[in-house]
Structure 1
Amino acid sequence: MFTYYLIVALFFGACAEEQKEISLPEHHQWHTVTLDFEGPETSEKAAENPFLNYRLQVEFKHADTNYTIQGFYAADGNAAETSADSGNIWRVRFTPDRLGEWSYHAVLQQGDSIALKEDSETGNTIDITDADGAFLVVPSDKQAPDFRSKGRLRVSNGYFRFGDTGDYWIKGGADSPENLLAYEDFDGTYRMQTSNSEGEASTNDTIHSYTPHLNDWQEGDPTWQNGKGKGLIGALNYLASKGMNAVYFLAMNIEGDGKDVWPYAAPDNFTRFDVSKLEQWEMVFQHMQSKGMLLHMVLQETENETMLDEGDTGPLRQLYLRELMARFGHHLALQFNLGEENGPADFTPIAQNDVQRKAMIRFLTKIDPYDHPLLLHTHSHEPARTDVLDSIVGFKDLDGLSLQVDKREGAAAVVETWKEKSREAGHGWLISMDEIGMWHTGAVPDAIDPEHDSLRRYVLWGTLLSGAAGVEWYYGARNRYNDLNTEDWRTTDRLWELTHYAMRFFEDHLPYWEMQPEHTLVNSKEAYCFRKAGEVYAVYLPDYEEYSIDLSSVEGTFTVQWFDPLNGGDLQQGSLTTLTGGSVQNLGLPPKADKKDWVVLLRVAKEK
């Protein structure tokens, strides 16, 4: 009889365990898990500041790993739709990287400035609903370009790389408008002050509507509050349709050029945040990630880099960074940029110094559970650029540079210089060519420069073949469509096409993360050569001429194929099919006798 009861007990115990496993909520790997907890009723303006004097932390545990994620105050839990500034919902967002069962434990604490404190024992614990739970993570159901099919983007070997799949990724996209988030459909968004200052794009009292892109919004795309958001969502759809995968934007430009973007409930109180606005930002960011678009989040401008704590990483800066990390750090492809034109220059002498800059970097690294890429935006020329970079090159917590260069003819050399300097310092940098000058011009509309010859030659191909990890296009301050008033990305439709052709060439044909520039191998100062010695060479040639390449240090036979930078498409056959190593070799002629640029691809012939 005892044996019978034991068997029955074991059977029902096993069934109960199986039922428990089956009944767990399911989430997909790399998809955001959003958990809401009911806690104390409060508001953005409450005397007991919900952003500063409360701290929500949630520990997520898996058999292989665990994360502690900071949560945030979410008003009524539906603020994007209701514009609520009060409620009792506290929220956390987490992106699981492992399959299988996860558990979580949430703790909400209250205390003076507790949001800035590290000690988990500090403060009074506040009761919240459903503080403990579990869920099951199953494989993602998304396909590229959605980042949820790839995992989290990090930095490896001086390039962007997905940590889960190991795939490398090259960037191309928009650097303008920098005030992308100055959008009329976001709550609490307006221009504080117009500007017509020398060195800045002129502004009036109108902020972005993106009306030209309304028709690019598609059924099923996100909106809020009865159809708001279609202009910006449509604009991002258009850019994605051109093969672009990155967008640069400021998270705060108080005292800066636009004076129209901030996360705060009011631009003169740096301890209170606008919950509904930030939830609307989040809807846009989610859409960008589904379209495979990197969030290039620029944290400050040169004009306001000492606005918080006089440049130190004190309480106001810490609160700002913690709030952004809590609300948006869960995104898979998010690049933090320390700040536009960071550091002193003749036009911006009041700036963060080296000690302050490094302190901010260290703090961001400490509070980031996901190891997002962290880059520094540079000044455009010497000596201002070098004065800052010489003091920070080799600093382990900085992943690289968001490069600005004023004179496009020298952009490739600047990339090559800082790639080499960073390697010599023991910490090779990722360098992205993000802002090309001159400051007043940048990239002009197709109607003015139909083929963007100098950008295509010196910036696009020149920097990528010198080790850059991507490019973004800046529209300049004095153009009709400038860095602050751009409403329609179609004005440079051709530039997006040319950029996509280059990106596809790198993605389809080169192990670029294993290659180095060696331009002197070609008998022209106007050519660019990127190589993995003895295996593959990509050579940009500026016109229809016969050029030679020095292969004297390598052996073997190399196939010769040509790529058309103006039209993209498949590789083509020129006048030669193979070259032999061991000497200087003529590259032959490209497929068409025209006076334009070509890229020749040499690859070691595989043995049959």
Structure 2
Amino acid sequence: MKMLSLDNCYLLTSKTDTRRHDKRPWAWLLWLVFFPGLCHFSFAGVVSGELTQWHPVTVSFNGPAASETDNNPNPFLDYRLQVTFTGPSGQRYNVPGFFDGNGNGGGSGNVWRVRFSPDEAGNWNYAATLRSGTNVAVELAPNAGSAASLGGATGSFAVAGRDPGAPGFLKWGRLEYVNKHYLKFRDGDYWIKGGVDSPENFLGYKGFDNTVNQSGGVNTAGLENGLHRYLPHVDDWNPGDPDFTSADTGFDSRGIIGALNYLSSENVNSIYFLPMNLGGDGRETYPFVGPGNNNFDKAHYDISKLSQWNQVLNHAQEKGIALHFVLAETESGNENWFDNGNLGVQRKLYYRELIARFSYLLAIKWNLSEETDFSDNNLRAFADYIGALDWANHQITFHTHPNRLNQYDPHLGDTRFDTTSIQYNPNNANDFVETMRNRSRNNGRIWVIDMDENNPASEGLTDTNANDLRKRTLYDVYFSGGNIEWYFGYHSLPLGGDVRTENFRTRQAMYRYMWYARRFMQEQLPFWDMQPNDGLLSGESGAFGGGQVFHKAGEVYAVYLPDASPSGTINLASGSYTKRWYNPRNGQFQGGATIVGGGAHALGSPPNSADQDWVVLLRAEGGGGNESPTAVFLSPSAGEVFSVGDSIQVEVEAEDADGSIANVRLFLNDTLVRQENFDPYRWNDRDQDTALQNLAAGSYELKAVATDNDGASTEAIITITVEDPNANNAPSVSFTEPANGQTIGVGDSLVVTVAAADTDGAVANVRLFINDAFVRQENIDPYRWNDRNQDPQLQNLAAGSYELKAIATDDLGKSSETSVTVNASDNGGEPVTLSFTPTNDAYLQNGTPFNSNELRVEHNRRTAYLKFDVSGISGTVTDVKLELQVSTDPGNGNIAVFRGQSNNWSESTLSTATAPAAGAEVGNRNGTWSSGVSYTLEIDSLVSANGVVSLVLDMDAGGNDVAFSAREGAAQPRLIVTYTP
């Protein structure tokens, strides 16, 4: 007998049941009858897992019976399971699910499943939909295909609070991009990566089902049948660890699980691997039922193998090892395996299956390709599709060919990407990290700089060169503000390397050096706020490229000396500093601490071994730090209005009370215009800055960053507007009937009338949608629908809430849209819930109005305003909520909602003069605001009857700005009012 996991609901079954085509898919249901207490089980589906914040939660549903080899319909391609999870604070996640055979690894059955990791304690609700149709799985439109039967489509479960003693990442939460050069755990610290890049075929393991090495790959001499066994790590397996056996080979999981245990024991915290390498080097790793280069194999997935993969990858999470999924290999056979190298049905399904099964894991990086040869447009398309599916918003990147930083140039500033994956010569490490930090920051999207493959490929990291690479590469990366994974080179066994790595202990020396460096940074440095500045050090030994300086000006300086004789002189900001020597070879501070003054300071000799490498830590004593410079715009003035075609001239005044100005950088909408090093600080005064010429109509942010001689900086920001007096104005559009929030009876029909006009032309047409489904286009005024019972979509409405959207287009093609919500109810005396979208919304930034698809909120800088027309209430209001979805810019802090004291404003007339003053606070929320997540704020005192109401949103001091989707955006704000008739 064998104990198998139904994602923490455990089953006793025979070994033969672990393969696909299981003949007894009902076995687990009988087992649950006898052991129901181990799962949260109800007719609302089976909810399993520890039910603790950040721990995996699985919801299993009874759906259509199928087999993993079925073709008509194909359960992977012709069905689509989506589950929406709604959390205690109103956050919502739309999570893709998957077909899971009999639920315990068998390939036939009726179990459909979703995996999720709740980010908050409290009550969670879920609602599932199953759609069917040809290729519906890869469609993103919510209504694609048709509804299919699914048992237990809705339900709820309670989640306990975060467990600080949980294993691995479960104690800290999801690893996230936070607009810095380092990732951060949601409920933990900033993270420094120190991982392994070999073997890329980590999952090409003998203990997995259906894992067979295919011909045509690289030399795998020394590996039994071309597969890993990781025999040196079998003894690293521990009782209680995942323990499964391949039905094909009889080999168990202890080698691969033991390998992860060993890496974790050495504090290695990331591993790089390919989930599909057919057509590439190794050719034994694939998630499909077969390795054939045909449509059938590419569209059918091996359920038992993926279940085994999940046990291994979840174990990595519990051991604190991040998962670097490399989704393609550079060989043309692999790059073109799906859809001839493009984004089509095959590649979309591949992405969806991986995301559905593994995106619940807390630390993932999606790497689009090793040594990418894909076009820039394809890379963008791949990232867009992954971003649309990955509810957890994991990092996305692509890997370069050796020393090819220019592969990133077309993507700098692109919000699709947030990390690098650089292949490099060791001598380039310092320059590459600092270059990419600067390039990404100057182009408006700060990237996390990952150095993911050290050349030369023939050598890499071995068992003999750790000392050299510690001095040449490790600290060059870390003290330049980067992260690292080590490639093992191409070596025969027993050393092994690349696809022939069997024993991770062969690189143990580097793991320890890497941990000493990371531990020093984590314990001693605010590394996430520090900058590299090697120019502060002079006169040191030039061995291995010379010293490295990582600092926060006036507070802390960390200096790495590959050879401490001579150690050189560092230029410190004014003040007093404690100096200590740290030995990077044993991870210990040595010698005593001394107090030194600021300015030029000779580092002196280390406690011993002056010809070896050392780290010097200088930390400021209290007071006496560097004073930041000042910066102010002399021209243009804040809020100044220009015309299309004007040339914008800029002048900034910058001063430093305790030093001198090193430079002033000017940014337009976060894109660097140019750096000025000398006073006067002017741009475009001689028409030399094309970025400030011929601007299109719109609002622009100018930011000047002044930096002093000690590295401290200050920024000044103003906003200007460019208008086009000859621009075509969009038409106006509004609903005459029905009223926003109107309630009708179940089975009733709607008559819709829309008013539309165009001030500088004519209205060409008006299109009507109900819940985003097209009804009909009207080309002639009056714009009416169903007034003669001609529109069946508006007839015999079932109970529910319906959004009506009208889009008016003028004779020059410009459009405007508006929406109202109608509710169909037969509740009688039961509570009725109405949903309203704003009639107007906009925000002020430093007094300048912005009416776009976003609402931005930032303390003392950006205030958002919303207006709702509440109607249809015929009873006592019992509950009022405001629902907002964070768009492209996440943040944190307390956002308060105030009642606006007037309604005499619109999004087109909003100004400091017309904006409603903030009245009484009606609600607030304090915490993290994550991109793509919807939040609900309780504002019960706002509404008691029908009428127009305005809201003012502001952020308290100490928060980080947030952008919400506006009514013109992808997810409109909603005012949700519940009343009792």
Normalising by structure 2, we get a TM-score of 0.55
Indicate the residue corresponding to 1:307 in structure 2: 337
The structural deviation recorded for 1:601 is 0.5
Structure 2: any 5+ residue segments left out of the alignment? 1-46, 625-981
Residue aligned with 2:289, SS: strand
Indicate the residue corresponding to 1:65 in structure 2: 91
Indicate the residue corresponding to 2:533 in structure 1: 518
Which of the residues 344, 357, 366 maps onto 1:327? 357
Q: Does 1:110 align with 2:110?
A: no
Residue aligned with 1:327, SS: helix
Q: Distance in 2 between matches of 1:594 and 1:232?
A: 42
Residue aligned with 1:254, SS: coil
Q: Percent identity, aligned pairs only?
A: 41
Which of the residues 449, 453, 459 maps onto 2:467? 453
Q: Does 1:477 align with 2:490?
A: yes
Q: Distance in 1 between matches of 2:441 and 2:601?
A: 31
Q: For 1:137-148, list aligned pairs within 5 A.
A: 137-141=159-163, 143=165, 146-148=168-170
Indicate the residue corresponding to 1:603 in structure 2: 619
Q: Does 1:241 align with 2:265?
A: yes
Which letter does structure 2 place at the counterpart of 1:159? Y
Alpha-carbon spacing, 1:216–1:494, altered in 2? closer, same or farther (3 Å): same
Q: Does 1:228 align with 2:246?
A: no
- Report Cα offsets for 1:248-284 as digits up to 9, x if no partner: 1111111111111111111222111111111100000
Which of the residues 512, 535, 548 maps onto 1:528? 548
Indicate the residue corresponding to 2:443 in structure 1: 425
Q: What is the root-mean-square deviation in Å for CA atoms of aligned residues? A: 2.0
The structural deviation recorded for 1:227 is 7.8
Indicate the residue corresponding to 1:19 in structure 2: none
Indicate the residue corresponding to 1:172 in structure 2: 194
Q: Higher strand share goes to which structure?
A: 2
Which of the residues 480, 488, 495 maps onto 2:503? 488
Q: For 1:558-569, list aligned pairs within 5 A.
A: 558-569=577-588
Q: Distance in 1 between matches of 2:61 and 2:455?
A: 48
Q: Does 1:192 align with 2:214?
A: yes
Which letter does structure 1 place at the counterpart of 2:233? H
Indicate the residue corresponding to 2:274 in structure 1: 250
Indicate the residue corresponding to 2:186 in structure 1: 163
Residue aligned with 2:622, SS: coil
8 Å CA contact retained: 1:144, 1:292: no
Q: How many residues align?
A: 557
The structural deviation recorded for 1:60 is 1.1
Which letter does structure 2 place at the counterpart of 1:401? T
Q: Distance in 2 between matches of 1:205 and 1:223?
A: 22
* Larger RCO, structure (CA 8 Å, separation 6 or more): 1
8 Å CA contact retained: 1:340, 1:377: yes
Q: Distance in 1 between matches of 2:319 and 2:484?
A: 18
Which of the residues 270, 287, 300 maps onto 2:298? 270
Q: Distance in 2 between matches of 1:312 and 1:29?
A: 38
The structural deviation recorded for 1:593 is 3.3
Residue aligned with 2:410, SS: coil
Indicate the residue corresponding to 2:366 in structure 1: 336
Q: Does 1:355 align with 2:377?
A: yes
Which letter does structure 2 place at the counterpart of 1:158? H
Indicate the residue corresponding to 2:413 in structure 1: 394
Which letter does structure 1 place at the counterpart of 2:273? F
Q: Distance in 1 between matches of 2:569 and 2:174?
A: 39
Q: Distance in 1 between matches of 2:536 and 2:166?
A: 37
Q: Does 1:587 align with 2:603?
A: yes
Indicate the residue corresponding to 2:629 in structure 1: none
Which of the residues 521, 534, 556 maps onto 2:575? 556
8 Å CA contact retained: 2:575, 2:623: no
Q: Distance in 2 between matches of 1:606 and 1:140?
A: 36
Which letter does structure 1 place at the counterpart of 2:134? D
The structural deviation recorded for 1:545 is 1.6
Q: Distance in 1 between matches of 2:167 and 2:477?
A: 24
The structural deviation recorded for 1:150 is 0.3
- Report Cα offsets for 1:32-54 as digits up to 9, x if no partner: 11011111111111121000000
Q: For 1:365-380, list aligned pairs within 5 A.
A: 365-380=387-402
Structure 1: any 5+ residue segments left out of the alignment? 1-23, 344-351
Which letter does structure 2 place at the counterpart of 1:57? Q
The structural deviation recorded for 1:109 is 1.8
| Structure 1 stretch displaced more, 516-525 or 282-291 | 516-525
Indicate the residue corresponding to 2:855 in structure 1: none
Normalising by structure 1, we get a TM-score of 0.88
Indicate the residue corresponding to 2:325 in structure 1: 297
The structural deviation recorded for 1:194 is 5.0
8 Å CA contact retained: 1:522, 1:547: no
The structural deviation recorded for 1:325 is 0.4
Q: Distance in 2 between matches of 1:143 and 1:202?
A: 41
8 Å CA contact retained: 1:201, 1:478: no
Q: Distance in 2 between matches of 1:578 and 1:376?
A: 46
Alpha-carbon spacing, 1:31–1:513, altered in 2? closer, same or farther (3 Å): same
8 Å CA contact retained: 2:513, 2:585: yes
The structural deviation recorded for 1:202 is 9.6
8 Å CA contact retained: 1:302, 1:342: yes
Indicate the residue corresponding to 1:13 in structure 2: none
8 Å CA contact retained: 1:203, 1:258: no
Indicate the residue corresponding to 1:53 in structure 2: 78
The structural deviation recorded for 1:479 is 4.9
Q: Distance in 1 between matches of 2:591 and 2:414?
A: 46
8 Å CA contact retained: 1:196, 1:202: no
8 Å CA contact retained: 1:194, 1:204: no
Q: Does 1:412 align with 2:436?
A: no
Alpha-carbon spacing, 1:290–1:227, altered in 2? closer, same or farther (3 Å): farther
Q: Distance in 2 between matches of 1:320 and 1:194?
A: 23
- Report Cα offsets for 1:535-573 as digits up to 9, x if no partner: 111101122324233426x2101110011111113x233
The structural deviation recorded for 1:604 is 0.4
| Structure 1 stretch displaced more, 226-235 or 245-254 | 226-235
8 Å CA contact retained: 1:444, 1:479: no
Q: Distance in 2 between matches of 1:50 and 1:109?
A: 11
Q: Distance in 2 between matches of 1:202 and 1:549?
A: 52
Residue aligned with 1:330, SS: coil
8 Å CA contact retained: 1:408, 1:454: no
| Structure 1 stretch displaced more, 224-233 or 359-368 | 224-233
Q: For 1:203-222, list aligned pairs within 5 A.
A: 205-222=225-242
Indicate the residue corresponding to 2:815 in structure 1: none
Which letter does structure 2 place at the counterpart of 1:28? T
Q: Distance in 2 between matches of 1:214 and 1:106?
A: 41
8 Å CA contact retained: 1:72, 1:326: yes
Which letter does structure 1 place at the counterpart of 2:574? E
Which letter does structure 1 place at the counterpart of 2:146? N
Q: Distance in 1 between matches of 2:63 and 2:405?
A: 50
Which letter does structure 1 place at the counterpart of 2:490? A
Q: Distance in 2 between matches of 1:332 and 1:282?
A: 13
Which letter does structure 1 place at the counterpart of 2:462? V
